[in-house]
Amino acid sequence: MSLKNDIAAFLAKEFPQTKVTLEEVGPMSAIVRHKIGVEELRPGGAVSGPVMMAVADVALYVAILGEIGLEALTVTTNLSMNFLRKPSADADIIGECRLLKLGKRLAVGEVTIYSEGMIEPVAHAVGTYSIPPRVAEE
Amino acid sequence: MSLKNDIAAFLAKEFPQTKVTLEEVGPMSAIVRHKIGVEELRPGGAVSGPVMMAVADVALYVAILGEIGLEALTVTTNLSMNFLRKPSADADIIGECRLLKLGKRLAVGEVTIYSEGMIEPVAHAVGTYSIPPRVAEE
Amino acid sequence: MSLKNDIAAFLAKEFPQTKVTLEEVGPMSAIVRHKIGVEELRPGGAVSGPVMMAVADVALYVAILGEIGLEALTVTTNLSMNFLRKPSADADIIGECRLLKLGKRLAVGEVTIYSEGMIEPVAHAVGTYSIPPRVAEE
Amino acid sequence: MSLKNDIAAFLAKEFPQTKVTLEEVGPMSAIVRHKIGVEELRPGGAVSGPVMMAVADVALYVAILGEIGLEALTVTTNLSMNFLRKPSADADIIGECRLLKLGKRLAVGEVTIYSEGMIEPVAHAVGTYSIPPRVAEE
């Protein structure tokens, strides 16, 4: 199995409710997708904020898993979102994560969030995950 | 109808998917609740992050509505969350919002998030909403 | 010597450039002051942003020191500021910190920042400090 | 005079205390520098946090000025910093800003902060500036 498949299977087990799916995982990076349908839209056609927060959270999580291996105990400690533009009601949401730091105890990354096909981002996030101590390390 | 009932009805119309319900709205403040069931839990019993983000977002929104009236065009521009402790799997999530500023163009508030019955907060959020220009005002 | 005096002396040694002084340290809390003079003002009389950031950073630091003891290796990992109102040019800046979490590895707190004598805050901050592992602990 | 020189002159007038200097201003972007000397260092050789916050704040400000023209009333509303690594005591601090959004009322950008000569960033910031209404616009 590839790393991508391993992480996708792990994600499905750890976050069974999530609709976020893994597109790519690379060095210090990941790309995820959230299909947009009626359930993700508010009246008027706006993609709801929690959908974009879920994209940011999962994108960070899988980028970290790609570096440290499948580690369920890793938890979000901080997530800061800026909502920039109204997303399209007709396009999936894509999150592109780049890790800024991967330390022994903390990982920090940014996620740029797009409506698929739009050039300008609809949101931007920065998040911190706490990584549990490994045996015989700290 | 009371202000609380008006806002609850508006919330149901504007955020039809949300499970967040209004408990109280007061001067520059609001309290909301999110029932926790199987759908809100990850394996191991953790309340998922997007649930707590939704609580923060709605708590801010209704506190602002309580001050400016029912205004659908108000949108979140920034939401920063700190996750502090593992929430209880058996208790509802309660969000208590206090507005720090209510300007003509921006409102800023903080939300302290609890598992009902716990003394220490499980998360804390600060958010900014952009308020649309009113006719003949700016 | 009192705890307050110990921390004030430690602060003077560790942050020799800072103009922030300690007013009070209490359980999970601290109050600090920054005198405002010509050096802290921009043309037009606005207190500069970095002055308020320094107040937030030091208020968090001393509140943590009050709980864990004098520990130079504690470092800021995240600081998020919201600037709410124009501070007075004629009043000192006061920062009131309340810790939201004091864990073994991370401490999180909020700081409400006032121009002395004003009722409404001029800024609000939330910050995270990383606490180094203690010997034989982790 | 070039745009760069105009902005540098404006910066010196509006922020007379700042040691941050303009390196480049480009489309939706700017690069700034802060010389590091004894005054910027804490005992042990760490560059102080407020120095890096000033770099982030000024980098955002000049990137916005490069787009909207010299506008003194633009003010920071939010600044969120992540401190990633210990900066070098012997190198200047460089801030590279990229604007994520330039709206009529709000501009949002990110700033990646380096010790000159290091490949990995020492800090990362995201900030929001409020842009005043222009005559006959809103």
pLDDT per position as a tens digit, C70-121: 987 788 999 999 999 999 999 999 999 999 999 999 999 999 999 999 999 9
Domains observed in chain A:
3-137 (3.10.129.10)
Q: List chains touching C (3+ CB pairs under 8 A).
A: A, B, D
Residue D46, classed as helix, strand or coil, is coil
Cα D125 to Cα A129: distance, rounded to the nearest angstrom = 17
Best mutation site among C76, C85, C97, C101 for testing chain B: the one with the most B CBs within 10 Å? C101
Predicted confidence at residue B1, as pLDDT, reads 58
The answer to whether A43 contacts B81, with C-beta atoms less than 8 Å apart, is no
Nearest to D106 among B77, B80, B138 (CB): B77
Cα B82 to Cα B122: distance, rounded to the nearest angstrom = 9
In this predicted structure, the answer to whether residue D43 has a pLDDT above a threshold of 90 is no
Q: Does B101 touch chain D (CB under 8 A)?
A: no
Hunting for tokens 């604007």 — which residue is that? Answer: D99
In this predicted structure, the answer to whether residue D109 has a pLDDT above a threshold of 50 is yes
In this predicted structure, the answer to whether residue D136 has a pLDDT above a threshold of 50 is no
Predicted confidence at residue B42, as pLDDT, reads 77
Q: Which residues contact A75 (CB under 8 A, 6 or more apart)?
A: A129, A130, B83
Residue A129 confidence class, pLDDT cut points 50, 70, 90 = very high
Residue B138 confidence class, pLDDT cut points 50, 70, 90 = very low
In this predicted structure, the answer to whether residue C19 has a pLDDT above a threshold of 70 is yes
pLDDT digits (tens, 9 = 90+) for D12-28: 888 888 899 999 999 99
pLDDT digits (tens, 9 = 90+) for A42-76: 777 788 888 999 999 999 999 999 999 998 778 89
Best mutation site among B100, B104, B113, B130 for testing chain C: the one with the most C CBs within 10 Å? B100
Predicted confidence at residue A71, as pLDDT, reads 81
Question: What chain D residue is nearest to A110 in terms of C-alpha separation?
Answer: D124
The answer to whether C14 contacts D42, with C-beta atoms less than 8 Å apart, is yes
First-to-last C-alpha distance (Å) of chain D: 31
Predicted confidence at residue A137, as pLDDT, reads 43
In this predicted structure, the answer to whether residue C137 has a pLDDT above a threshold of 50 is no
Q: Which residues contact B76 (CB under 8 A, 6 or more apart)?
A: A49, A83, B57, B60, B61, B127, B128, B129, B130
